[in-house]
Chain A
Amino acid sequence: MAIVTPDTTADKYDVIVVGSGAAGGQSAYTLTMDGARVLMIEAGRNYDPRSETPMFQTNDTAPLRGVGTPDKPFGYFDATIDGGWSVPGEPYTNASTEKGREFKWWRARMLGGRTNHWGRISLRNGPYDFKPRSRDGLGFDWPISYEDVAPYYDKVEMLVGIYGTNEGLENTPNSPDGVLLPPPRARIGELLARQRGRTLGIPVIAAHRAVLSRALDHASLPAKLHPGNAMAQRVLAEDMQNRAACFWATPCGRGCSIRANYQSTTVHIPPAMATGNLDIVASAMAREVTVDADGRATGVTYIDKATGKEHRASARVVVLAASACESARLLLNSKSAVFPNGLANSSGLVGRYIMDTVGASWGGHIPLLENLPPHNEDGAGGGHVYTPWWLYKEQLAGKLGFARGYHVEFETGRGMPQGYGGYGEDEGGRTSYGARLKEEARRNYGAYVSFTGRGEMIPNADSYCEVDPKVVDKWGIPVLRFNWKWSEHEIRQVAHMQRTFADWLSAMGCTSKKQPGSDGSKAIEPGGSIIHEVGGTIMGSSSSTSVTNSWSQAWDVRNIFVADGGVFASNADKNPTLTIMALAWRTADRILDQMKRGNI
C-alpha cells in the first residue's frame, strides 16, 4: 500500500481518515500499526520533508529576503504549501466586518497539513482544563478527565519526543520519569527573564517542545508503546532509527529534513506507510460523508483536484481529522434524507462553540543585552523556556476580573536576521544611517525581548461557523461563514497580559517610555489568528448538548469519529496539538476495540 490515485484505491477499507495532520497522522498510525487497512484522504499535495525542506538556506537566497507575502504569509521558507490565510479558489466568509468580529482561518493544503510548520509547543492539559465549569461555572466540562487522557499523553510524548522538565506546578502535569527528553539550555535573554520574573512572582521553566534533543531510544520505546505487537515494534524501532537528533540549527517552521521535530510527515506517516496498511490519496477534496438508509456512514466522496472528477471510497468507519472547522463543514455539507440538517447534527451544535487561543504580545529593548559577545543562540529552533499560568489561586478567588489563564512564550536572542531589526530609530524620530547605523545594529542586535501571551478562551454562543448560503468553492462545495465574538474574560485577560509584560520588561531594565494601553480589545489578536481553533463538534455527556461522546464518536452515527480539535469542550491555554494527538490515539484504540467486537 502507498500513495494511490482515485483509480487504484481498494474497493473497501476498514477506516477512511479525512486529513493527514496531527489528528489524521495519529489516527492512521495507531490504526495501521494494529493491522487495520486505512485510506487517508488529503486535500493538498503529497509532501516529503526529507527532500523538500530548505534547511540552511539564508534569506538572501529567497525572493524579498524571505519576508511574508500573500502567497507565503509566514515567509518564503515557511513549510506551508498552498495555504495561509487564504487558499486560492477555496474561500471562507465572515458574517460581520466589525472589529473584533472577524475570524481568520489558516489552512495548509499538503500532506501533514499544519504540522509541517507549527511551533512544536507541546503542553499537557491539566486536571482543571477538563473540568472548567466545575471550577468556575463557565463554559463546559468535558465528559472525560485528565486521568483518562494521561496514559495517551505518555504514549504520544514517547512516540514524538518532547523536551521539557517536570516541575510539579499547579495544573501543569508532570510526565512519568524518563518520558521527557532533556531540554536545551536557556538562552541569555531567557535567563534574564527568569531572574527578573522572580521579583514579580512569575515562574520560568523549561519549554515543552516536540524536538529531539537526543535520539529516541529505539531499543526500549517500541515495546512500551506497542506491547505484544511484534510487527508494530519492528516497524517503529526501524523508523525511530531514521530520525536524527536536533543539530541545533535552522528554524522549525521550515520543517525538518532530518526528522528531528514532530510533523505528521516525520513521525506518523512514515511508519504507518511501512506497515503496508496505509493508502494515501492526495489532492483529494472531501465533499461528503455518505450514509445508507439506516443512517450508517458508508464512505466519503471526494473531488480529485487534478481532474475535477468526483470519486467515492468505502469503509466500515469514517474518522474526521480535517481540522476542527473543516470537519464541521464536511458534516454540515453531508445532507441526506436521513440527516436533512447535516450529518451528526441532531443537536444543532455542529459548527458551534468554535474557540481560538487568546493572543497578545509586548516587547522592548533591553540595554543589559546590548553588545553581547557573538555566540550561537539558534538552539532548538524555538523557545527553550516558558511561563505556565501562575495565578490560579488569585483567579479562583475572583481577584483578576477574568476567569481563565494564559501562558507566556518568549522571543529573545540572536536568531538569524529575517529583516530589518528595528534599530536606528532614535526617540527624536531621526533616521540613523551610515557608520552610526552599523554601530547601532551591532550594539542592539539580540537586545530585543518580546513576550507573547497565549490564553484560554471560554466557548460562547456567538462564536461559530455555518455553511454560507451563497458561496461555494471552486469545486462547488459550500464554504464556511464565521461568526465571532470575544467576551469580557478574554478582553480583560489581554489587558492583564500587556500590563504584566510591560512590568516584566521594566524589571529587565527596559527603559522604553512606550506603554501598552489598558483596553484589551485594542491588543487582542483577531479570532483564529493564533491558529488554535478547536470546537465545532464538541464532546459531552448527552446527545442534546454535544455532537460527540466521550470517545469522540458521533452521537447520531456510531461509525463516525472526530479525531481533530473539533471535540474540545474547552480550549485551555495549552497549545492544542499534543492533546489532539493524545485524543486521536485514544479514539483509534476505541475504534479498533469496537471493530474487533463487531460493534461498528
Chain B
Amino acid sequence: MSTPDPQRIDRRLAIKWIVAAGAGAALIRVRPLRADGAAAAPGSPAPAQAGYGTDPGLMKPYKPGDFWPLTFTDAERREAAALCDVIIPAEAGSPSASSIGVADFVDEWVSAPYPDNVRDRRTVIDGLAWLDGESTRRFGAGFAEATQAQREALCADISAEAPKDTEPGKASRFFRKFRDLVAAGYYTTPAGMKDLGYVGNVPLAKFDGPPADLVARLGLTDEVRW
C-alpha cells in the first residue's frame, strides 16, 4: 500500500467528515474572565447530570475525574496524546503537551456535563475516530502508531483548510477545536505559563510597574506619572 503525497491528495476523498452537529465557535475563553462580563444566558439549561455544583470546595486541589467520570478509551488516550504532541511538541526548555497531562485535560473537558462540553464531546470523539481512520487509510497505521512525519503530514493537510461547514472544513474545525483545547490546557500549567513568559502569581512587597528600559524603548517614559 503506497503512501499518498498529502500535497496531492484529493480532499473530497481524504477529508470525509462524519460529524453532523456543528462544533460552534471556540469555547475556551479568548480573554480573561472579568467580574462584570457577560456569560451564559439566564435560564440556561441545567446540566443533564450533576456538575461540580454552585458551591464546590475551592480550597481543595482538583484532579480530572474527581467530579465526573472520564471518557477516553486507552486507544483514544494514546491517539489524543499523539495529537497533543503534534500541536505542542517539546522544545528546548519546554515540555510537550502530553508529558504534562494535557491529554487528560482534553478527556476531562469532553467528559463534563455542561452544554459546551457535551457539544465538544461529539466533535472530539468523532474527530478522533475520523483521524484514526484517515491515518489508517493513508498510511496503513492508526494515528497513534503512525510515524511522527506521517502525523505531521496529516495535520498539515487538515489545518490548511479554514474551519467551516463543508466536508474538508469539518475536519479542520475538529483540528481547531482540539488545538484550542490543547493550547488552553497547556498554557494554564506552570510549565506552559513559564513558556509564555508569565512571571506573576507571587507576592511582592511593592509593585514596580514595567521595567524602565522597556518603557524607554517604547518611548513612554513621559507617560509615567506616578
Whether A64 contacts B33 in the complex (CB less than 8 A), given A185-B224, A379-B207, A416-B198, comes out as no
Which A residues are CB-close (under 8 A) to B18?
none
Find residues 130-162 in chain A having any chain B CB closer than 8 Å to their own CB.
none
Which B residues are CB-close (under 8 A) to A59?
188
Contact B184 A420 (CB under 8 A): yes
Interface string of A238-257 (1 = CB under 8 A from B): 00000000011111110000
Whether A71 contacts B202 in the complex (CB less than 8 A), given A418-B29, A438-B88, comes out as no
Whether A73 contacts B188 in the complex (CB less than 8 A), given A58-B193, A191-B223, comes out as no
Contact A437 B210 (CB under 8 A): no
Interface size grouping (class) on chain B: 35 or more
A195 to B221, CA, bound (A): 10
Find residues 200-220 in chain B having any chain A CB closer than 8 Å to their own CB.
200-211, 214-215, 218-220
- Pick the residue among A65, A71, A83, A422 that contacts B30 (CB under 8 A): A422
Contact B41 A85 (CB under 8 A): yes
Considering the complex, give the chain B residue whose CB is closest to the CB of A214: B206
- Pick the residue among A54, A72, A251, A424 that contacts B54 (CB under 8 A): A72
A526 to B89, CA, bound (A): 42
Interface string of A81-115 (1 = CB under 8 A from B): 11111111001101000000010110000000000
Find residues 481-514 in chain A having any chain B CB closer than 8 Å to their own CB.
none
Which B residues are CB-close (under 8 A) to A452?
34
The yes or no answer to A70 lying at the interface (CB within 8 A) is yes
A434 to B156, CA, bound (A): 10
Contact A68 B179 (CB under 8 A): no
A78 to B34, CA, bound (A): 9
- Pick the residue among B31, B32, B67 that contacts A63 (CB under 8 A): B67
| A218 CB, min distance to chain B CBs, angstroms | 20
Interface of A is mostly: loop
- Pick the residue among B37, B188, B211 that contacts A65 (CB under 8 A): B188
Contact A64 B108 (CB under 8 A): yes
A67 to B215, CA, bound (A): 33
Contact A420 B187 (CB under 8 A): yes
Contact B192 A186 (CB under 8 A): no
Q: Which of B101, B220, B222 has the largest number of chain A CB atoms within 10 A?
A: B220
Contact A377 B91 (CB under 8 A): no
Contact B179 A437 (CB under 8 A): yes
Contact B209 A185 (CB under 8 A): yes
Contact A186 B33 (CB under 8 A): no
| A473 CB, min distance to chain B CBs, angstroms | 14
- Pick the residue among A91, A183, A372, A419 that contacts B188 (CB under 8 A): A419
Contact B28 A377 (CB under 8 A): no
The yes or no answer to A336 lying at the interface (CB within 8 A) is no
The yes or no answer to B75 lying at the interface (CB within 8 A) is no
Which B residues are CB-close (under 8 A) to A88?
46, 54
The yes or no answer to B117 lying at the interface (CB within 8 A) is yes
Considering the complex, give the chain A residue whose CB is closest to the CB of B64: A63
Which A residues are CB-close (under 8 A) to B172?
431
The yes or no answer to A541 lying at the interface (CB within 8 A) is no
- Pick the residue among B34, B37, B155, B163 that contacts A433 (CB under 8 A): B155
Contact B58 A445 (CB under 8 A): no
The yes or no answer to B130 lying at the interface (CB within 8 A) is no
Considering the complex, give the chain B residue whose CB is closest to the CB of A193: B223
A68 to B34, CA, bound (A): 10
Whether A186 contacts B223 in the complex (CB less than 8 A), given A64-B109, A374-B198, A437-B87, comes out as yes
Find residues 26-64 in chain B having any chain A CB closer than 8 Å to their own CB.
26, 28-47, 51-56, 58-59, 61-62
Which A residues are CB-close (under 8 A) to B202?
249, 376
A119 to B32, CA, bound (A): 13
Find residues 394-443 in chain A having any chain B CB closer than 8 Å to their own CB.
411, 414-425, 428-435, 437-438, 441-442
A70 to B39, CA, bound (A): 9
| B198 CB, min distance to chain A CBs, angstroms | 6
Contact A74 B62 (CB under 8 A): no
| A48 CB, min distance to chain B CBs, angstroms | 11
Which B residues are CB-close (under 8 A) to A94?
42
Contact A70 B190 (CB under 8 A): no
Which B residues are CB-close (under 8 A) to A69?
51-52, 112, 114, 116
Contact A104 B204 (CB under 8 A): no
Contact A85 B162 (CB under 8 A): no
| A13 CB, min distance to chain B CBs, angstroms | 29
Contact B198 A85 (CB under 8 A): no
The yes or no answer to B125 lying at the interface (CB within 8 A) is no
Which B residues are CB-close (under 8 A) to A187?
209-210
Find residues 189-207 in chain A having any chain B CB closer than 8 Å to their own CB.
191-192, 194-195, 206
Whether A445 contacts B184 in the complex (CB less than 8 A), given A74-B33, A249-B201, A437-B88, comes out as no
Which A residues are CB-close (under 8 A) to B201?
56, 58, 249-250, 378, 416
Find residues 29-76 in chain A having any chain B CB closer than 8 Å to their own CB.
45, 51-54, 56-76
Find residues 146-203 in chain B having any chain A CB closer than 8 Å to their own CB.
152, 155, 159-163, 172, 175-176, 179-181, 183-185, 187-190, 192-193, 195-203
A323 to B52, CA, bound (A): 27
A106 to B161, CA, bound (A): 40
| A85 CB, min distance to chain B CBs, angstroms | 5
Which B residues are CB-close (under 8 A) to A432?
159, 179
The yes or no answer to A375 lying at the interface (CB within 8 A) is yes
Contact A185 B226 (CB under 8 A): yes
Q: What are 22 A-B pairs with beta-carbon distances under 8 A?
A: A53-B58, A63-B67, A88-B46, A182-B226, A247-B203, A249-B200, A251-B32, A379-B207, A411-B34, A414-B197, A416-B200, A417-B198, A418-B31, A419-B29, A421-B30, A422-B31, A425-B176, A430-B160, A434-B86, A434-B152, A434-B155, A442-B195
Which residues of chain A have a CB within 8 Å of any CB of chain B?
45, 51-54, 56-78, 81-88, 91-92, 94, 102, 104-105, 117-119, 165, 182-188, 191-192, 194-195, 206, 247-253, 359, 363, 368, 372-380, 411, 414-425, 428-435, 437-438, 441-442, 445-446, 448, 450, 452, 525-526, 529-532
Which residues of chain B have a CB within 8 Å of any CB of chain A?
26, 28-47, 51-56, 58-59, 61-62, 66-67, 86-89, 91, 94, 101, 105, 108-109, 112, 114-117, 152, 155, 159-163, 172, 175-176, 179-181, 183-185, 187-190, 192-193, 195-211, 214-215, 218-220, 222-226
- Beyond the given A63-B108, A375-B210, A441-B195, please list 12 additional residue pairs across the A-B interface where CB-CB is below 8 A: A56-B201, A65-B105, A70-B44, A185-B207, A186-B209, A188-B214, A247-B205, A359-B36, A422-B30, A425-B176, A435-B91, A437-B183
Identify the 9 closest CB pairs spanning chains A and B, nearest first: A185-B209, A429-B162, A374-B197, A378-B200, A247-B203, A73-B39, A188-B210, A419-B28, A59-B188
